[in-house]
Structure 1
Amino acid sequence: MKKFDLTNSVVEGTEWFSRLAIVNLIWLLFSLPIITLIPATDALFQVTNDWSNGKTNKSLFRTFMYYFKQNFWSSFKIGLPVCIIMFILFLDSWFLNTQMTATAGIQIYKYALYTFGILFGLTSLYSCPLSKKVNVSVSRLFLTGMVLMVSQPLISLLLLISIIVMAIVLLKWPALAFFFSVSVLAWLATLAMEKAYKKTANNTVKE
């Protein structure tokens, strides 16, 4: 049994915190013009995909810029539909919350909207890192992401809880959002997708 090394663990933990903070700042830099938000996010998921494959020794800025340029236009195929649907969900939610009279029908629709928003958000979080692993159509990609989310409920629940905890921490200390917001979200989504993908694949092989 390998002996626990506190010093190495602290060093590795510090390195991971540094990676997440630096890549989050790079993402913010490349997202400053709103139109580049989607390519910047796509590049971020490509970087976290490299991390999941053990490629952690690359120059973060150069690697990010390379993926940003390489996938600039293709990133909109996935990112644009997600942004449009999320924007529509936001508008619907805002409209419902501004209603003075909350009838039973409005309440039912509101909870259905929230449920759909959570499920769509989780599906998107699976689909974005999955796009770096498989080369399929956008519809097939989101369908596969939804299958992973549903077939591995424990992983999906842990991902959701992690996001809620992260949101609570960022609300308490907003300054941390500059360093540990989107990068942490992308890394958590990548880890969840990899775990769910492997488990689903193993279960399929066994059957």
Structure 2
Amino acid sequence: MAIEKNLPKQTSVIVRFTEWFANLSLLNMIWLLFCIPVVTIIPASESLFYVVNKLYKAKEKHPIKLFLSHFKENGWRNFKQDGYLVVIYVLFLFNFMIIRNRTDLPDWMYLFTVAISVLFVLAVLLSIYYLSLKTMIEMKPEKRWLLSFYLIFKYILSNLGLSLAIALIFGLLFLWPTLAIFFSMSLPALISIIVVERNFHKFNKQR
């Protein structure tokens, strides 16, 4: 930090951007590594959100070390508390695979596909809010889910922007799949934490 103060403004911005790029890339790679057993996706994601939140608030200089320690200390507890999310997303994946392999879909199946897609988007947004809020406030899981649901619809415009931003990120990752190794979760987590924290602060001020 002392070195950055003595650097020209433009150089300091470049240094900060490079640090962010490196930290998000390394975090995403270690997150992917910890997701390999599949059942560890939720604990790994919660640790990622926790560390990204600390980075966003400039409270951590060793993100990988913090990720490892947080996963070690809270991984099993987070799995027991939120592991059911893996089952929910596997069911979504199973439904999408069935629909995709059907060539002769009846009219009602198209409506079912639309309903499943809407539920999937809502589930993703709820999960993002849930994981982001977990880094900001301690409360019972069921209350955190209810608060997430409430904030999504209370600040619907900002959440539409959040959804579009995440969709844009995944669109870019689809065009350049290699980038998924570095930013598939870390970048969406950063954007989500910024939006959720602002909405949460607005909510607290209005109470």
Same fold (TM over 0.5): yes
Give the counterpart letter for 2:47 in structure 1.
Answer: A
Partners of 2:178 and 2:104 in 1: how far apart?
37
Match of 1:125 in 2: 128
For 2:138, what is the secondary structure of its paired residue? coil
Work out the CA distance in 2 between the residues paired with 1:46 and 1:6: 29
The yes-or-no answer on 1:45 pairing with 2:69 is: no
Aligned length: 200
| Contact residue 41 and residue 86 of structure 2 kept, 8 A | no
Which stretch shows the higher mean deviation, 169-178 or 133-142?
133-142
Tell which deviates more after alignment, 192-201 or 5-14: 5-14
Equivalent in the alignment of 1:12: 16
Q: CA RMSD in A?
A: 1.8
User: What does residue range 152-171 of structure 1 map to in structure 2 within 5 Å?
Assistant: 152-171=155-174
Where do 1:143-182 residues align within 5 Å?
143-182=146-185
Q: Which runs of 5+ in 1 are unaligned?
A: none
3-state secondary structure, aligned to 2:75: coil
Residue 108 of structure 1, CA deviation:
1.2
Where structure 2 has 5 or more consecutive residues not aligned to the other structure, the ranges are: 1-7
CA deviation digits over 1:24-54, x for unaligned, max 9?
Answer: 1221233333333322222111101212332
Shift of 1:16: 1.0
**Counterpart in the other structure of 1:138:** 141
Alignment-mate amino acid for residue 42 of structure 2: I
Q: Percent of counterpart pairs with the same letter?
A: 28
1:69-88 per-residue CA deviation (whole Å, 9 max, x = no partner) reads 11011111453122111111
Tell which deviates more after alignment, 195-204 or 48-57.
Answer: 48-57
Moved beyond 6 Å, runs of 4+: none
- What TM-score results when the alignment is normalised by the length of structure 1? 0.88
The alpha carbon displacement at 1:103 in A equals 2.1
Provide the rounded CA distance (Å) in 2 between the counterparts of 1:52 and 1:144. Answer: 22
Is the contact made by 1:77 and 1:138 (CA closer than 8 Å) also made in structure 2?
A: no
Supply the distance in 2 between the matched residues of 1:36 and 1:84 (Cα, whole angstroms): 12
Q: 1:102 to 1:32 in 2, by over 3 A?
A: closer
Return the offset for 1:148: 1.3
Given the two structures, how large is their TM-score scaled by the length of structure 2?
0.88
**How far off its partner does 1:8 sit?**
2.1
